[in-house]
Structure 1
């Protein structure tokens, strides 16, 4: 019995779990061989799953939707509480962009294929724009504040710690806060064939990330120090501030979460982000 977990620093639960041995002990009672595959870019998760490199992983809302649209066999396991991370759609303080509709004909930098694609889709839809009305510039998942500034775009979709880094370099203004656009949940999912063959290990994984989030909520200083040493950068102080307002917790897939994912999937299909319409619920069983 074994489990191979994909982990990257944009997903805090799996990242913390991979670095704190004591949190792994309950999981090892079910899956005696627990391994972690570490990488920096969460967008690699679905590829690693379908290639059999990892059994389970976690990302934001977008990757499992894209995977399902490509007929890849992934199964939802759990979701986190919403994460209203500091930041959102951000512009220079003197920018003429005041509303989401003002993004027409403008450029925006973000990590394409991450949860930020979902956030932009909501913004574009809400403003009554077409997807092509906004010029998208891809930026690395580990981009720092200076990388966003160097992108030379009219706006950025950025959250802490990069958002705090950007604020130290330039005067900026938030047009749409993160929580006004998306719930920004962590999504835990696995390779379908593995989940069906290893239900006990899949349940143990969900229990482990839930316990990790509970532990993290009570150990913010330790978590902040750990994350400051990751490829996401940031200082312990910046991380501590962001973590203090984080909504911790992992729960089973429910109707509300599936409705959020379906809404995103429908937007993606309408905007041509995914090749076909999907029924999200089909990946939850």
Structure 2
């Protein structure tokens, strides 16, 4: 039988795919366990270059790496104590917090609004957001692009109920978009860049001025409260690799393409739209995140309102 706790996590999209994780004790382990998403470029490069290992070794810590398909599963691993740290977009932490997950915001990457957009087929009659009224729009429910769609509609005098959402994971959404069973697709890079380059998809609007599209680094609450010096070292290592990527975007795209199987031009287009540089969480960024949480609560996309600052990393505590 599914209990209330499990049902809340399922409803929030935090438990997917029948994943199960062990919950090792933190007390007698000095292994920092990083969860990263499939195709997560900067962490892949950090892993290969051993930068983090060199920063944590003086603190007596080693590092392990585990790949996940998407943010919800990654946050599940943090919540269940099977990982300590990982990157996600804006929406998954809100859904997880609403479900009671024991995680905190540790850091973030700058807003990259051009990395997500509402797109249509190249020959679509849809030219403006207003043209979406009554149309079928594909998106990943509870994701960053869910917020972009809400903001774009409201900025153009429409409500969320004025479109017909088709809640689909990116691969399924791409298939629906290609065969014309949806009129538009709200999506992020690298799927966005791939649709532009391989399908000739046309951008109706991106996140500029509408949705910030901030990437967050989340940590389990125990690791944040007991080992803040480790988190600081981790963020410093990520910022270091981000600095290299900023100065070597084309080389990064070539190398990442060989590791992920994505075309180099897709990777390069996405990274060229990205702002980079890991930094500790701050009040201004959390205020922006609260706006998104309030919007999701208003639309009843999450089961209850949340106060984002309750999940902020309080350094030194």
User: Shorter-chain TM-score: what band?
Assistant: 0.7 to 0.9
The aligned counterpart of 1:240 is 268
The answer to whether the 8 A contact 1:224-1:239 is kept is: yes
Give SS of 1:89's match. Answer: strand
Query: Could you say which residue in structure 2 is the equivalent of 1:65?
Result: 94
Equivalent residue for 2:126?
A: 97
Aligned residue number for residue 206 of structure 2: 177
Structure 1 residue 241: deviation in Å?
A: 3.6
Partner of 2:294: 266
Q: 1:112 matched to which residue of 2? A: 141
Q: Which runs of 5+ in 1 are unaligned?
A: none
1:42 corresponds, among 68, 71, 91, to 71
Corresponding residue of 1:167: 196
CA offset digits 1:202-230 (Å, max 9, x no partner): 22222221122112223324421343245
* TM-fit CA distance, 1:128: 4.0
Q: Quick check: 1:3–1:35 contact (8 Å CA) kept in 2? A: yes
User: How far apart are 1:51 and its partner, in Å?
Assistant: 1.2
Counterparts in 2 of 1:176 and 1:50: CA distance versus 1, 3 Å: same
Tell me what 1:152 maps to: 181
Equivalenced residues, count: 284
Distance 1:104 1:83 in 2: 27
Judged with a 3 Å threshold, the aligned counterparts in structure 2 of structure 1 residues 183 and 11 are, in CA distance, closer, same or farther, namely farther
Q: In the alignment, is the contact (CA less than 8 A) between 2:115 and 2:274 conserved in 1?
A: no
1:283 aligns with 311
Residue 243 (structure 2) aligned to one of 214, 228, 231? 214
- Distance in 2, Cα, partners of 1:176 & 1:143: 22
Q: Does the CA contact (< 8 Å) of 2:92 and 2:143 recur in 1?
A: yes
Aligned pair in 2 of structure 1 residues 141, 228: CA closer, same or farther (>3 Å)?
Answer: farther
SS across alignment from 1:179: coil
Shift of 1:3: 0.8
> Greater relative contact order (Cα 8 A, min sep 6): structure 1 or 2?
1
TM-score (norm 1): 0.88
Change (3 A) 1:144 1:272: closer
Q: TM-score, with normalisation over the residues of structure 2?
A: 0.80
Q: Measure how far apart 1:155 and its partner are.
A: 0.3
- Following superposition, the deviation at residue 162 of structure 1 comes to 2.5
